[in-house]
Amino acid sequence: MSAPVMSDDRVAMAGPQTGAGASANNGPQLRDTEFEFLRQFVYQQCGIALSEQKRQLVQGRLLRRLRALRLRDFADYCELLRRDPDAELGELASAISTNVTSFFREMHHYDLLVNELLPAWLAAKKASGERLRIWSAGCSTGEEPYALAMVLAEAMERSNSTVDAKILATDLSPQALEQARRGVYAHDRLGGVSDERRKRWFLRGQGEYDGLVSVHPRLRELVSILPLNLLHDWPMQGPFDAIFCRNVVIYFDKPTKEKLFTRYARLLPVGGYLFLGHSESMHGLSNDFDLIGRTVYRKRA
């Protein structure tokens, strides 16, 4: 999410949509009333608007949750959500979402950090004694915050800085957060990482762990990973020097985006930065930011 990102990729397709009842071949069917309840629930809790075209995707993905929870049908699942929304929300978000991420995705953002922002921030923080904070909002399985940690650690070494610097990484999906906390990835997931950084920041698995890598302990020190629903209350007070919310808001509707950008602005100082994904824009949605580069926004005075 990342916050939940709806995609038709890798969909476990259910059988023909009947709209009611159950099928011996395909399992319980998602009826009209149940799908409408799920649409409203997901919109209210996650800010994602499910279209009718997503019906088979939702049915196919949630059949797995029915089996895991030993529920008879979607009516029982909807009743579970009514009784205790928070208990199942993360699992629901994981089930209907596809977390697409990678190390150093949209490299121009990291170039800006390395060449301009981090040197300036570290110098200013060192002089003032203030702390440096970056938020990865919708961190998915952890590639983004660990990539941020790499460039931050390298910048601190170059400047010989002892600044209090941390990266907050949040997401709604329990499965994504669990992998982020483990910090273990298949070696072929390192496509965006230079050879130098692979050698410096990853530990190669051996024996039964051959083909896997683990992030360096130094990166773990810099990253705090926590569950968070962007639509609910936020415990952190800020300020953050930068917020990365990339490929998260594209599936939100306009009112939800406007509210989210307003909340981000409150946690950024004047001159603070907000990074969006390559297909996202703040045009017509906020008066708090100026566009200064490709999907890079700076908070106005």
**Residues paired with 135 in a beta bridge:** 168, 243
Co-location of 60 and 194 in the same domain: no
pLDDT given at position 150? 98
Q: Is residue 15 part of a domain?
A: no
Co-location of 156 and 236 in the same domain: yes
Nearest to 66 by CA among 88, 50, 84, 85: 88
pLDDT given at position 26? 63
pLDDT given at position 90? 81
Look up the CATH number of the domain holding residue 69: 1.10.155.10
- Residue that has been written with the tokens 């997401």 in this structure: 171
Co-location of 53 and 115 in the same domain: no
Q: For residue 247, what is the DSSP state? A: S
Co-location of 112 and 245 in the same domain: yes
Strands 165-171 and 223-227: parallel
Look up the CATH number of the domain holding residue 207: 3.40.50.150
The answer to whether 256 and 231 have CB atoms below 8 angstroms apart is yes
Co-location of 75 and 217 in the same domain: no
Co-location of 89 and 112 in the same domain: no
Domain that holds residue 43: 22-95
How many Å apart are CA 20 and CA 22, to the nearest integer? 7
pLDDT lower than 50: segments of the chain: 1-25
User: Judging by beta carbons within 10 Å of its beta carbon (0-12, 13-18, 19+), is residue 113 exposed, middle or buried?
Assistant: buried
Long-range contacts of 286-293 (CB under 8 A, 24+ apart): 286/258, 286/261, 286/262, 288/261, 288/262, 289/261, 289/265, 293/108, 293/112
Q: For residue 48, what is the DSSP state? A: B
How many Å apart are CA 30 and CA 143, to the nearest integer? 34
Domain count, the chain: 2
Co-location of 181 and 72 in the same domain: no
Q: Identify the H or E element spanning 183.
A: none
Strands 27-28 and 132-137: unpaired
Q: Is residue 283 part of a domain?
A: yes
pLDDT given at position 76? 95
Cα end-to-end span (Å), the chain: 29
pLDDT given at position 87? 87
Query: For every residue of 49-90, which 3-state class applies, written as one string?
Result: CCCHHHHHHHHHHHHHHHHHHCCCCHHHHHHHHHHCHHHHHH
Co-location of 73 and 126 in the same domain: no
pLDDT given at position 99? 63
Co-location of 165 and 260 in the same domain: yes
Nearest to 219 by CA among 181, 187, 186, 247: 181
Co-location of 113 and 27 in the same domain: no
Residue 10 vs residues 51, 93, 96, 99, 263: alpha-carbon distances, Å? 18, 16, 11, 11, 33
The pTM score is 0.81
What is the set of active-site residues? Answer: 61, 171
Residue where a domain terminates, one of 95, 130, 152 = 95
The answer to whether 45 and 96 have CB atoms below 8 angstroms apart is no
Co-location of 78 and 135 in the same domain: no
